[in-house]
Amino acid sequence: MNDDVLFLFVMLSFTVTILLLAMLKVRKRNRKLRALESDLAQARLDGERSRDRPETASAGKIKLLEDRLRVLERIVTDGGYALGQEIERLRELRRETFPARVAASADSRKA
């Protein structure tokens, strides 16, 4: 019984750690996304100011920032998929490493 409690505590600790790391990663991506949005807004303002000027290098910069913003948005929204895969990988590792405990745990749930 005590081994099972320890095992569950370790698995719970791993799961919480993985979730926290994923949350920190998403937070970091969101910060980058906000910074790019700010850069994009600034580039648009610069573009509006320079409309009357013959040089329009800022249009290329705006396009580049918009492309980068799209990529970051896609990365941020796909983050949950990687987390689900990591959880499933840990479950498989548990089944492979402790098959007797997994079976005993399943039997005790049925009872």
Answer whether 72's CB lies under 8 Å from 25's CB: no
Q: 103: which 2 tokens? A: 């079976």
- Going from N- to C-terminal start, the domains of the chain cover 2-110
Which residue, 94, 72, 79, is CA-closest to 21?
79
pLDDT of 5 higher than 80? yes
- Joined together, the tokens standing for residue 23 give 């949350």
At 92 the pLDDT is 86
* Res. 53: pLDDT tops 60: no
Q: State the average pLDDT over residues 20-46.
A: 87
- The answer to whether residues 55 and 66 touch, using CB atoms and an 8 Å cutoff, is no
For position 64, what pLDDT does the model report? 83
Q: What would the two tokens of residue 69 be?
A: 């913003």
